[in-house]
Amino acid sequence: MGFFKLGSMTMGSLFKEPSTLRYPFETKEPPAGLKGRIVNDKDSCILCGACMRACTTGAIAVDRKGRTWSINPYRCVQCGYCITVCPKKCLSMNPHYSEAAREKKIRIVNVPEHPKPARAKADAAKGVDAGAKAGEEAAAAKAGQKATAVKDAEGAETNGAAGKDAAEN
């Protein structure tokens, strides 16, 4: 009886789709909650090193002078703590399986030079202060012009009165 059961299962599997995939050539959709691997958005990274200090396994290395950010994917345990401490939110989890590799490689990301935002903020603050000072000076000058005009008008009235007195004498 067991032989007929095994035979029917074998014959049934000949006409069904296989339950496995040919992995490198076919990939299946990753399940919900798969952490995958860490990805760095190099355009928004400022190389602050917060992720490197937060990494419990020491898988992340940041080189400010060389402008590089690197991760050893074989040391990373995908805890996601580096993602939570990143001030610019440039790190994210890519929920896909890693490709098959023949050798262990460290992923290195070259980060381009960015203009310093602190300097731009300082220039903007100076522009606001300069604008405020210019506005104050303009208001003071306008008030000074009004005061001068009032004095000139009073002087003209006084001079006009003095001219009348002089003409009468």
Residues 95 and 53 both lie in one domain: yes
| Residue 69 near residue 109 (C-beta atoms within 8 A) | yes
* Best-predicted range by mean pLDDT (13-17, 103-107, 113-117, 149-153): 103-107
Q: How much of the chain, in percent, has pLDDT values that exceed 70?
A: 64
Residues 100 and 120 both lie in one domain: no
Residues 86 and 133 both lie in one domain: no
Residues 34 and 106 both lie in one domain: yes
Q: Is the model's pLDDT at 5 over the cut of 70?
A: yes
Find the angle CA(69)-CA(94)-CA(92) to the nearest 5 degrees.
Answer: 55
Domain annotation covers residue 135: yes
What residues make up the domain containing 69?
30-110
Residues 42 and 90 both lie in one domain: yes
Residue 105: half-sphere exposure toward Cβ, Cα within 13 Å: 9
- DSSP states along 33-95: T---EEEE-TTT-----HHHHH-SS--EEEETTTTEEEE-TTT-----HHHHH-TT--EEEE-
Query: What pLDDT, on the 0 to 100 scale, is given for residue 41?
Result: 93
Domain annotation covers residue 146: yes
Q: Tell me the two tokens of residue 14.
A: 């000949």
Domain annotation covers residue 82: yes
Query: What pLDDT, on the 0 to 100 scale, is given for residue 58?
Result: 95
Residues 155 and 90 both lie in one domain: no
Residues 98 and 43 both lie in one domain: yes
Which residue, chain included where needed, has tokens 């935002």?
117
Residue 92 maps to which CATH number? 3.30.70.3270
Residues 35 and 101 both lie in one domain: yes
Residues 104 and 35 both lie in one domain: yes
Residue 78: half-sphere exposure toward Cβ, Cα within 13 Å: 15
Residues 37 and 57 both lie in one domain: yes
Mean pLDDT of the region 143-169: 49
Domain annotation covers residue 10: no
Residues 52 and 102 both lie in one domain: yes
CA gap 28, 155 in Å, rounded: 94
Overall domain count for the chain: 2
CA gap 38, 105 in Å, rounded: 14
Residues 82 and 39 both lie in one domain: yes
Which residue, chain included where needed, has tokens 């095994």?
6
Domain annotation covers residue 166: no
pLDDT tens-digit series, residues 62-104? 999 999 999 998 899 989 999 999 999 999 998 877 777 788 8
Which residue, chain included where needed, has tokens 């990373």?
76
CA gap 48, 64 in Å, rounded: 8
